[in-house]
Chains A and B, each alone.
Chain A
């Protein structure tokens, strides 16, 4: 795919002798939402970690046409990639506002004005009004749903071109999960490209344009999200009967 913002080809990631990701190739077209679904332990988080430069890997990763495999995470953030990790990785002893400000660290370092960041902050507050109310509160004291909002908000403060989300619904109540996924849909409509990793297959496929199924480190299936939603194998394994 030539208009792909992110293109991963034949990616391998190993923990010592154990290969957790084996020859995965996928792409995220510009302005689209792609999702990788699969069971626990399929290698989804490992895949994202490798794309984001947190884990060493073999294979080619291209972002906006440039090879990025082997680059530092910090360099990828500067290039316009943001990861919302499964564990959120917030700065617990700092306030909500400070967490968000730090989300713009790379942009400030690149010389962007305070005003530009203040604009993004307003956009994040518009998306998550709850964060505006919680500004002076320490991130460690937030509820699970609020932490996820803050993690997404912090990632958005970097004005990424590509947002990588690792299990945003993990540990959240169904209603909050729905909210978060609706937000992701909204973000996709603004032209942001998203790679969404989810265990909640139905919700993920309803949100995404394109889907991949990852099983024991290998892609077993891919296709348009609507097609996967009606694929018998996906229904049998991941969606169950309605």
Chain B
């Protein structure tokens, strides 16, 4: 291996690592607020790529039907839950089902108008983000106080259901989206692609935006408060369902933005999200599902390991990446005190 290959692999690793970093942050966020290990995180990434690719191929994205299906199921759930309280029923519907309906309309309108790339991107992000409240409402809200293990099993179920729906609405074909920029820059002897730079800039921007959100906004503080002390949060009027729904919605938005970044780099199938999300998960585990900076660093490390192992031992690429988790778990089991479950 000479310097140019190492530089190329590093660039590749950092690009993927940046995307894993975003997913890792979303996983830490959802776990801290809800104690849910959010396995379906990767599905948001896949749905984003497939939606945008459908737009580019001039097809109506299957996302429209997926959103309508979600909205219909949520409506049914609210009717059953609040059949005796029509006022609360309508409020609940407005919070959980309405975003899906509006997003479906937007996707359809953007398709019908043959709108430009920017609007297609915006519609895609809105569509995927609006799945957050519906998924929280359907899958997690009814079991919000259940033990972590139950929540994990629910997550596995949600993952399989979403993957199945992905196959139904998007088909088995893989897709890739067009790059935001085709330009390359020379940095000494090495070429840096504009797409990679875009990924770095976007990731840094999003991490800064998240930090500002948590530090300065009321909702950001409410999420931190819920993560720090659930009872305390309820006592100041922060509903666990509000916080849970907000965190899953943010995770969906982060998934959508990650999808925009990864779409031009990798071919994504309806079930590709799992593996992508799992690499973010390895990063999140390094941070003990609690520390944002360590999770981010861990995820970037995962990207680098992946890039270099695909050069030296490409057949064992995934094995090497996922084996990383073993020493980390071992080390953590010796160094961290065990937290009793609430």
Contact = CB atoms under 8 A, between A and B. Distances in A.
B68 to A, nearest CB: 30
A73 B235 contact: yes
A78 B234 CA distance: 11
Interface stretch (B18-26, B116-124, B164-172, B221-229): B221-229
Contact of B224 (A88, A94, A103): A94
A72 B235 contact: no
A109 interface: yes
A92 interface: yes
B238 A74 contact: yes
A104 B224 CA distance: 15
B239 interface: yes
Nearest to B239: A74
B231 A158 contact: no
Contacts of A77: 234-237
Interface residues of A, number: 31
A90 B230 CA distance: 10
A105 B238 contact: yes
Contact of A74 (B221, B228, B229, B237): B237
A103 B232 CA distance: 10
A154 B235 CA distance: 10
Nearest to B238: A105
B218 interface: yes
Contact of A102 (B225, B231, B239, B242): B225
B179 to A, nearest CB: 41
Interface in A84-107: 85, 87-94, 98, 101-106
A72 B239 contact: yes
A158 B236 contact: yes
A158 B236 CA distance: 7
A182 interface: no
A109 B232 CA distance: 17
B229 A90 contact: yes
A54 interface: yes
A102 B229 contact: no
24 contacts: A54-B234, A74-B234, A74-B237, A77-B236, A77-B237, A87-B231, A88-B232, A89-B232, A89-B235, A90-B229, A91-B224, A91-B233, A92-B229, A94-B228, A102-B222, A102-B225, A102-B236, A103-B236, A104-B236, A105-B218, A105-B222, A105-B225, A105-B238, A108-B218
The 3 closest A-B pairs by CB, nearest first: A106-B237, A89-B232, A77-B237
